[in-house]
Amino acid sequence: VEHIAAHPPIDNKHKRRVLVADDHPVNQKLVCWLLNGMGVEAHVASDGLLATQMFESGDFDLILMDINMPELNGFEATQKIREMERNRTRVLMFDRIPIVGMTAQMDCAANTSYEQHGIDDFLTFPVERSNLKSKVDMWIDHARNHPRPAIDTGLVLEMTQGDRAAMVKMLGVFVQMMARQIGSLHNGLITDAQSEIHSVVEGIIYV
């Protein structure tokens, strides 16, 4: 048992980064051990507030979010992260990180209302390797091979208060603006104009 704990089975895959938000030391060690055995780089946040801070400063492919945590619970932390994403990207959807909730309550995991909090999926405790691996594969590997649409049309429709004609017009303006930005970026790359490149990239990121 000690040998297995010290040397978990390794899957030789591309390194992925997962944020494990859980306040229970045993759960932290178990989930991280399982992730490491899959070739995944695991980072731990011991409460919901720290999870939001680590998300803001880190670059993760997936968040495993315990629902019952101090400071901010899993729902509150997820909602804060989604708010941070909206403030960061607005119309563009490149930065929406998948969040998988973790709970010991089966009825909570079966309740689809968790989607209203911004949580994409659920795992139940105790976490089993096969279940964890399926979530990692689905939400990281599948997402990489099947990228989300670049524009959040639902958000644009919300911004136009349900007016589809206005949404189409706004998207037309957006596409024209992006075409100009890409043209400016191309010129900046050709002439090696670092200030112009930085300005264009910053404008695209914060659309």
Q: What is the pLDDT of residues 13-29, one digit of tens each?
A: 457 899 999 999 999 99
Judged against a pLDDT cut of 70, whether residue 144 lies above it is answered with: no
- The confidence score (pLDDT) of residue 146 equals 59
- Which of the two residues, 69 and 205, has the higher pLDDT score? 69
Q: What pLDDT score does 145 carry?
A: 63
Query: Which carries the bigger pLDDT value, residue 116 or residue 38?
Result: 38
- Greater model confidence, 49 or 11: 49
Residue 140 to residues 5, 107, 110, 168, Cα–Cα distance (Å): 25, 26, 22, 31
What are the CA-CA distances from residue 27 to residues 1, 10, 88, 137, 178 (Å)? 18, 20, 31, 20, 45
Average pLDDT, the chain: 78
Question: Could you report the per-residue pLDDT of 58-106, keeping only the tens digit for each?
Answer: 889 999 999 999 889 999 999 999 888 877 655 555 567 899 999 887 6
Note whether 66 and 102 are within 8 A (CB).
yes
Would you state the pLDDT for residue 8? 46
Residue 206, pLDDT score: 46
- pLDDT of 177 above 60: yes
User: Residue 11: what pLDDT?
Assistant: 44
